[in-house]
Amino acid sequence: MIGYTMVGVSDLSRTAAFYDPLFAAMGIARQFTDEETLAWGYADEKIARFIACLPFDGEAASIGNGTMTAFLVEDAPTIDRLHALALENGGTDEGAPGRRPRYGDGFYGAYARDLDGNKIAFVCYDAP
């Protein structure tokens, strides 16, 4: 359903240092970089699915309240590692790893904000 997600950022080098290790841990590679954009996706798709860029209008990057990108992950231990990695790389905690039964019996997730305040999540739907 979703072609890609794009978030505005203020510093591409800082953004790369935050997201590159997270995506590498998920088997996702950087596919494109230029002076305004970083883009990641699965190597076999050749389509960037997550893009971080300096805002096209030249204004400061800003975030929307309630906006979040959730990355589908294979299992709860991986979610635990990704959440810890996000915090190690300067992200802030928005919800520790754990079950969220209100979203389903097997739902397990963790939440963080990147260095520009964009909210991200790591989730799986079938944690035992």
Residue 1 pLDDT > 80: no
pLDDT tens figures, 92-122: 999 999 999 999 999 999 999 999 999 999 9
pLDDT tens figures, 9-54: 999 999 999 999 999 999 999 999 999 999 999 989 888 999 999 9
Q: Domain map of the chain by residue range?
A: 5-55+67-124
Q: Does domain 5-55+67-124 have CATH number 3.40.47.10?
A: no
- Helix axes 76-88 and 12-25, enclosed angle (nearest 10): 160
pTM for the structure as a whole: 0.89
Say if residues 62 and 8 touch (Cβ distance below 8 Å). yes
